[in-house]
Amino acid sequence: PVSQPASPCLLTLLLTPFTLGAPISLTDPINQAYNLALYMQKNTSVLLQTYLQYQGSPFSDPGFSAPELQLSNLPPAAVPFMLWRGLGDGERLLQARGAFSALAQHLQLVSDDQADLNPSSSVLLSQLAAARLRAQGLMGNIVSVMTALGVSIPAEMDSLGPAPFGASAFERKCRGYVVTREYGHWTDRAVRDMALLKAKYVV
Amino acid sequence: MEVYFYLRLLLKRGENKRMRNSSKFQWLSSVIFLYLVNQAHGQKRGVPHDLKCITHNLKIWDCSWEASYRINHGTTYEVCIVNSSYSCIQTEKTHFEIPALSLADHEIKISSTHVSGNSVTKFILSERNVSLVPATLQILNLTADFSTSTLYLKWNDNGSAFPHHSNVIWEIIVLYKEDMEVATVATFNTTLMGKDSVHHWNWTSDIPLECTAHHVKIRYYIDELHFFGQKEWSEWIPLRISGSPIKESYEVFPRDKVVPVGSNMMFCCVVEETVLTAQYGSEKCSLIPLDNKSVGIKINNITISPSSGTNVVFTTRSNLYGTVVFAGYPPDIPKKLNCETRDLKEIICSWNPGRPTGLVGPRDTNYILYERFSGRNVTYKRDEEHMNENHQLIFQMISGQERYNFTLKASNPLGGSEAVILVDITQRVYPHTPSKLNVKGINSTAIFLEWHLSGNFANINLFCEIEINSAYSGQELRNITVKGLETSSYHVSVDKLIPYTMYTFRVRCSSEKFWKWSKWSNEKQYLTMEGIPSKGPDIWREWSADGKSVIIYWKPLPFNEANGKILSYDVSYGLEEETQYLSEIPDPHHKAEIKLDRNDYNDYIISVVAKNSVGSSPPSKITSLEIPNEDLKMEQVVGIGNGILFHWNYDLNMTCDYVIKWCNSTRSEPCLIDWKKFPANSTGALIEYDNFQSGTRYNFFLYGCKNQKYQLLRSIVGYTEELAPNVAPNFTVEDTSADSILVKWEDIPVEDLRGFLRGYLFYFEKGEKGTSKIQGLESETRRSDVKVKNITDITQKTLRIVDLQGKTGYHLLLQAYTDGGVGPGKAMYVVTKENSEGLIIAILIPVAVAIFVGVVTSILCYRKREWIKETFYPDIPNPENSKALQFHKSVCEGSSALKTLEMNPCTPNNVEVVETRSAAPKIEEDTEIKSPVAVVPEEGSDAEPENHVVVSYCPPIIEEEIANAGGEEAGGSSQVIYIDIQSMYQPQAKPEEELENNSVGGAGYKPQMHLPVTSTVENIIVADDLEKTAGYRPQANVNAWNLDSPDSPRSIDSNSEVVSFGSPCSINSRQFLIPPKDEESPKSSNGGWSFTNFFQNKPND
């Protein structure tokens, strides 16, 4: 039902500059990943706000924030800047790839949760589905960059572990909140990741 | 014996004192007393005392006693029941068990043996001294359902241990929180049935069981009627709750609970940290401490939750914990449950869910449609995308079953409801929309209609409605019943259609036992086949003007008789046997000319046949000749609006029909606009024709038909509506005389008449040219001086107007009128001739009279010439003898009543010599003096406007009034009178009377007298003086004259020198011709001939 992923693909095709100064095999993936991340960045806050709006008070209260909520199997995007800056390209990409892999899985979980809690909220459900597809898309782009950089790609991990069926409604709401929030944070970080690579490899 | 005595005594007293049915009290008092007695003995003697017996099951008594510790160690006892079959019991302990003894008193002898010696103690024991204490229970189960916060207890009552039916009282207590508050105490009764029974008890906690520790204890009391001893409660039996909280990780309870709107709920948070705040939805709540690591909140009257539930959140310093509650409603009873089938294959049941539950997703309402007869059910599959107000479920029909008893069960976590409907499905058929509608022609008036209707209707009849629509016949609905089919293809024949007509068909169906119409199928157009024209055309014939040919006319066949497209007409004519055909005449032509000679007197039969592609119509026939009609009159008729009504008498001879044909009367022959036929039995007709025009004359001819031959019955001229003529009649003046005018006019042409002429209106009016008031005015507003003649004889063409004035201009106007109004008029101006005869007469008569008078005068003069000469021209004039004045008098006054010229005897003394002055011009030959100037009355302000009045200056009279003048007449005694001609001839009486009045005030004009009268008194005095002086003295005081009458023209003209004023008429004489006073003359005193009289009268004119 989601037609939006087509547009970033188109966008990336259009925006991809043909630069002679860098290997074609590296420029394209970086640009694609960067552009997609940039596009995703525009929608992340909308997704988070839409999500919270459907969860009722206090989630839907203006300015709601609960940074203390974390998910053990979803790596947080927050990282000390110098630590992040000091990471090697491969390691940085590896973390991003792992995060978006986990995010894509979690977004599927959140979609299912919301189909139970808010079955008639088609706006939210379609945004979640779109976000999941974009996360998968960005993950693929990162893998392309890693391939181009020659970074070895480990097998994708099952970050969710055993099916978390027993979660209460409140846990599911919180889980969704953390996922959509981290999706935004990780997208921001991916933009920075890709900008760094772009500066480095694409002239 | 002492013990026994006391025991009995106590028991007696106890029995007296105890409460009714209070075994507890009885037991307690007995034990206390037994204990006290034995204690006293034992301590006193150091031997067993305080024997106590209890029983758990009424079969075994368990007795024990107290012994002194000094002798207890190493002591052996022998317990014997005296006088019983039981052997003695050897024991080292201080208790023993014995089977339950009979109700009687039993002596128990306990012999104790120890190192210091032996002793024997005796007790009296009976059942009354034994206590019944129920044994510990066998608890089967105590489980907690944390999801519902409910405790379930299940136990065995051990009833088999008791031989009899006994009532049991159970008491269960639940304690919670750290300080063991009582959550609930439950007491209830059961009956032991002589066998083991399992009992259940459950309890739902207000607060989730996870919130804090709960403790449950139970005890019971057996009210055994056949036991006379003391009955006691059992010990409290603590129970262990099996089942544990679901997971450690859930901090807030209850989790994901679905509750009805309006319930009261307790939520708790179990965490190590300190809870700072709690909120329910967006509402802050106050915390209720439960125990050291658990706090709760209480929410009353919960309102409906949003779709994702209401969040309950507890906040600590570092984290937030929460749960979600879903508050909603149990499902409403399904509304408007209705089951019907569209194809008799599946049943569609639809309903309205009613009030929203507020619960969605897994908590939403489940619907199950259950059919009672077949036992089958269908579950509702929720389709989120097609959610609307109405839900529906499809139930596959069971072959052979027509009656269905459906129960729709609705359920959600909060409850359920159901609705029931019993249907005979054959009466609930709502067919699909018929499709694939197709038409096949059978003949020109019938078709086959085919359509497809999916469904298996083999067991019922279908009731279908066919809508047949055509532009010609409008809409028609036909209902048919068709046998239902399994194959879905239906076809029916539809007849009674009109040939060659474009029809539009559509179909809808229902079952024969009507429930609902299907929707209409799509429309299908079809043109029916052509048929043979059903009638011959309507024909008529007209002879040409010269009688050499006959033109046969026919009208195109109406649509319903043509039955197709008419291609051509066959015209034939002939005598009895032989028939000649004209060539085929193609359709757009509707007349044919046949060369026949009317003068042959052969009566041909002309026939016309219309043909279309299928065949020919029956022929229409008409004979060429008419039956003559001698007495034919022209009639007139006026229509009603757009039509004309004709009536005729019923005539048995007319066997075929009547025909009315008509044409515009101004057209030349053959004249035919249209004709219309009416059946033979009709007696009237209304001819309506779109092209009839108002004000146009039509000729109508009514024909009757006898033996296929027409006879002209009436010839009628008519208008559908009459209008006023639109031209004026053209008229001329044929003759004019001094008093009459002869007018002649022409007929107005018929086409301009626009109605039947009813007459003319002739107006005439005297007036000058160009001032006519006739034209442009409506007749009713014409002035009365306009004369009108209404000529109703329309054959009259001339009109003589008489009694006119000669040589006078007349305006003439002629208008024609019909019943439709008056037409325009033609105007003319005519001057009548001079009347010569009258003029001659008018001249001749005065001439004749003048001649006659002249002759008579001449004769008289001749015959009296001597007298005349003597009188007027004597040789020696003798004033005494002069008759001139008398002559003058007679001529001038003309009335014998006036005596003004009657002279008083002249007193020579009074006549003074008059100076010869040039006043002569004022005296003309006649005695009358015409004064060209108006005499102004005394009142200066009252200016007399009538200057033109000829005032004659009456002969100057000098009266000397002597006699009998009254005081009041004094002022008028000698006066000069100015009088006009008319006044002159008035009777004298009136001036006299007026004089009396007017002279009193001295108002009279007294020009010749200087009499300054200022008052009445003076007036009288003056009058007296006047009598003495008594004379007219015009010459006496010229100045006074002037002063008194400053306005007098005479005074102005004459100035002061005028002294001859008032001189009598005399042509030649310059003297005053004063005749001597005639004494005998009556009324000489102050007759009309005085100046005073003149002036007095003047204002009265």
pLDDT at B711: 86
Nearest-Cα distance to chain A for B449, in Å, is: 46
Residue indicated by tokens 């974009």: A134
What does the alpha-carbon distance between residue B926 and residue B860 come to, in Å, rounded to a whole number? 20
Three-state SS for B1034?
Answer: coil
Q: Is the pLDDT of residue B949 over 50?
A: no
**Shared domain check, B140 and B124:** no
pLDDT(B454) > 60: yes
- B669 at interface of A, judged by CB pairs closer than 8 A: no
Q: Is the pLDDT of residue B346 over 70?
A: yes
**Average of pLDDT values for B576-591?**
79
Report the complex ipTM.
Answer: 0.85
Same domain? For B759 and B823 the reply is: yes
Closest CB to B282 among A61, A68, A121: A61
| Position with higher pLDDT, B474 vs B983 | B474
| Domain shared by B148 and B216, yes or no | yes
Q: Are residues B624 and B638 in the same domain?
A: yes
User: Region B552-559: what's the mean pLDDT?
Assistant: 88
B358 shares a domain with B322: no
Task: Tell me, yes or no, whether B292 and B357 share the same domain.
Answer: no
Under 8 Å between Cβ of B304 and B329: yes
Residues B805 and B708 in one domain: no
State the burial class of residue B288 (Cβ atoms within 10 Å of its Cβ: 0-12, 13-18, 19+): middle
Closest CA to B158 of B81, B232, B56, B233: B56
Kindly indicate the confidence band of residue B903, based on its pLDDT and cuts at 50, 70 and 90: low
Pairwise pLDDT comparison (B764 vs A130), residue with the higher score: A130
Nearest Cα residue in chain A from B314: A58
If one counts the domains in chain B, the total is 7
B282 vs A: CB within 8 A: yes
* CA distance between the termini of chain A: 38
Residues 337-396, chain B, touching A (beta carbon < 8 A): 360-362, 364, 384, 387
CATH class of A22-201: mainly alpha
Which amino acid, one-letter code, is at B817? Y
More confident residue, A191 or B651: A191
Cis amide prior to B48 (ω within 30 degrees): no
Query: Residue A168: its chain B contacts at CB < 8 A?
Result: 250, 255-256, 323-324
Judge contact between B360 and B372, C-beta under 8 A.
Answer: no
pLDDT band at B139 (very low <50, low <70, confident <90, very high): confident
Q: Do B660 and B549 have their domain in common? A: yes
Question: What is the number of other CB atoms lying within 10 angstroms of the CB of residue B647?
Answer: 10
- Is the pLDDT higher at B1091 or at B398? B398
| B223 lies in the same domain as B273 | no
In tens, the pLDDT along B599-642 reads 877 888 888 999 989 899 999 888 888 888 877 878 888 888 77
Percent share of chain B, pLDDT over 70: 72
Is the pLDDT score of A2 beyond 50? no
pTM of the shown model: 0.57
When comparing pLDDT for B982 and B378, which is higher? B378
Shared domain for B185 and B274, answered yes or no, is no
Asked if residue B1100 has pLDDT above 70, the reply is no
Decide which of B427, B459, B491 is a domain's last residue.
Answer: B427
If you write DSSP's letter for every residue of B959-1019 in order, what string do you get?
Answer: ----S---GGGGGGSS---EEEHHHHTS-SHHHHHHHHHHHHTT-S--TT------SHHHH
Confidence of residue B1014 (pLDDT cuts 50, 70, 90): very low
Mean pLDDT of A71-100: 90
Q: B324 and A174: CB-CB below 8 Å?
A: no
Distance from CA of B478 to the nearest CA of A (A): 49
User: For chains A and B, what is the number of CB pairs under 8 angstroms?
Assistant: 74
| pLDDT at position B126 over 80 | yes
Residues on chain A touching B282 (C-beta within 8 angstroms):
57-58, 61
CA-nearest residue to A170 within chain B is B323
Partnered with residue B109 across adjacent β-strands are B80, B122
Neighbouring CB atoms inside 10 A of B344's CB total 22
Q: What residues in chain A have their Cβ under 8 A from chain B's Cβ atoms?
A: 54-59, 61, 66, 68-69, 114-121, 166, 168-170, 173-174
Contact B407, B422 (CB under 8 A): no
Please give the pLDDT value at position A133.
Answer: 95
B255 touches chain A (CB under 8 A): yes
What average pLDDT does this structure show over B582-591?
82
Same domain, B228 and B195: yes
Q: What average pLDDT does range B797-822 have in this prediction?
A: 85
Minimum mean pLDDT among B60-74, B832-846, B1009-1023: which range?
A: B1009-1023
Chain B environment of A115 (Cβ under 8 Å): 361
Are the beta carbons of A170 and B323 separated by less than 8 Å?
Answer: yes
Q: Are B595 and B511 in contact (CB under 8 A)?
A: no
Tell which residue, B899, B1084, B1094, B904, has the closest CA to residue B999: B1094
Given a cut of 50, whether residue B865 has pLDDT beyond it is: yes
Asked if the C-beta of B306 comes within 8 angstroms of chain A's C-beta atoms, the answer is yes
pLDDT, average across residues A26-55: 92
User: What is the three-class DSSP state of B761?
Assistant: strand
Domain stops at, among B281, B306, B328: B328
Residues of A in contact with B324 (CB under 8 A): 168-170, 173
Tell me, what CATH number does B387's domain have? 2.60.40.10
Give the closest of B252, B311, B360 to A120, CB-based: B360
Distance (Å, rounded) from C-alpha A177 to C-alpha A64? Answer: 10
User: Between B1085 and B836, whose confidence is greater?
Assistant: B836
- Per-chain mean pLDDT for chain B: 76
Q: Note the pLDDT of residue B340.
A: 93
What lies within 8 Å, CB to CB, of A84 at 6+ separation is A92, A189, A192
> Is residue B821 domain-resident?
yes
Instruction: Give the confidence band of B728 by pLDDT, cuts at 50, 70, 90.
Output: confident
Ramachandran angles phi, psi of B77, nearest 5°: -125, 150
Q: What is the per-residue pLDDT across B663-713, written as a single tens digit (0 to 9) for each?
A: 887 776 667 778 888 888 888 888 888 878 888 888 888 888 888 788 888
Q: Does B387 contact A121 at a Cβ distance shorter than 8 Å?
A: no
The predicted structure's pLDDT at residue B19: 38
* For A69, nearest residue in chain B (alpha carbons): B319
pLDDT of B1081 strictly over 50? no
Q: Do B307 and A174 touch (CB under 8 A)?
A: no
Whether residues B422 and B405 fall in one domain: yes
How far, rounded to the nearest angstrom, does the alpha carbon of residue B1006 sit from its chain's CA centroid? 94
C-beta separation of B1007 from B1051 below 8 A: yes
Binary contact (B256, A169; C-beta < 8 A): yes
Chosen domain end from B805, B820, B836: B836
Q: Are strands B252-253 and B265-270 parallel, antiparallel or unpaired?
A: antiparallel
In chain B, which residues have their Cβ closer than 8 Å to the Cβ of A166? Answer: 247
pLDDT, residue A24, reads 56
Q: Which residue of B has its CA nearest to A114?
A: B308
Q: Do A55 and B311 touch (CB under 8 A)?
A: yes
Smallest Cβ–Cβ distance between A56 and the set B252, B310, B319 belongs to B310
pLDDT per position as a tens digit, A87-115: 999 999 999 999 999 999 999 999 999 99
| Among candidate residues B519, B488, B487, B490, the one with its CA nearest the CA of residue B506 | B519
CA angle B36–B42–B48, rounded 5-degree value: 110
Q: Which pLDDT belongs to residue B847?
A: 92
pLDDT at residue B997, as a whole number: 45
Please give the share of chain B, as a percent, with pLDDT higher than 90: 23
**Which residue from B minimizes the CA distance to A70?**
B319
Label residue B777 by pLDDT band (50, 70, 90). low
The whole-number pLDDT of residue B502 equals 92
Q: Specify whether the CB–CB gap between B550 and B597 falls below 8 A.
A: no
Alpha-helix runs per DSSP H in B400-517: none
Q: How far is CA B52 from the centre of its chain?
A: 106
Decide if B726 contacts B824 (C-beta within 8 A).
yes
What is the rounded distance in angstroms from the CA atom of residue A41 to the CA atom of residue A38?
Answer: 5
For residue A70, is pLDDT > 50?
A: yes
Answer whether residue B126 is part of any domain.
Answer: yes
Structure tokens at A195: 């900008």
CB B311 to CB A58 under 8 A?
Answer: yes
Output the pLDDT for position B50.
82
Return the residue of B nearest to A173 by Cα.
Answer: B308
Residue B962, pLDDT > 60, answer: no
Is the Cβ pair B320, A61 closer than 8 Å? no
B282–A166: do the CB atoms touch at under 8 Å? no
Instruction: Give yes or no for B318 touching A (CB within 8 A).
Output: yes
Instruction: Examine the pLDDT at B332 and tell me if it is beyond 80.
Output: yes
Q: Which of A119-123, B26-30, B87-91 has the highest mean pLDDT?
A: A119-123
Q: Is the pLDDT of residue B408 over 60?
A: yes
Residue B1010: predicted pLDDT: 45
Say whether pLDDT at B995 is over 70. no
Q: What phi and psi values does residue B561 have, to the nearest 5 degrees? A: -105, -25
Considering only CA atoms, which of B304, B406, B391, B384 is closest in space to residue B354? B391
pLDDT of residue B929: 41
Q: What letters, b where the CB count within 10 A reaches 16 and e where it falls short, cover B106-115?
A: bebebbbbbe
Residue of B nearest to A117 (CA): B308
B401 φ/ψ angles, rounded to the nearest 5 degrees:
-100, 125
| Highest mean pLDDT: which range of B21-25, B522-526, B601-605, B726-730 | B522-526
Does the pLDDT value for residue B519 go beyond 80?
yes
Sheet of B95-99: strand order equals B95-99, B60-66, B49-55, B130-132, B230-231
Helix axes A6-15, A122-149, angle to 10 degrees: 40
Using CA atoms, how far apart are residues B336 and B357, in angstroms rounded to an integer?
A: 17
Report the share of chain A in percent with pLDDT over 70: 88
User: Which range of residues forms the domain containing residue B182?
Assistant: 133-241
**Token pair for residue B385?**
């995308």
Distance CA B47, CA B71 (A): 8
Model pLDDT, residue B503:
93
Whether the pLDDT of residue A199 is over 60: the answer is: yes
Tell me the pLDDT tens digit for each residue of B305-317: 999 999 999 999 8
Mutation target for A interface from B308, B365, B382: give the one with most A CBs within 10 A: B308
pLDDT value of residue A131: 95
Residue B1082 Ramachandran class (φ > 0 left, ψ -120 to 50 alpha, else beta): beta
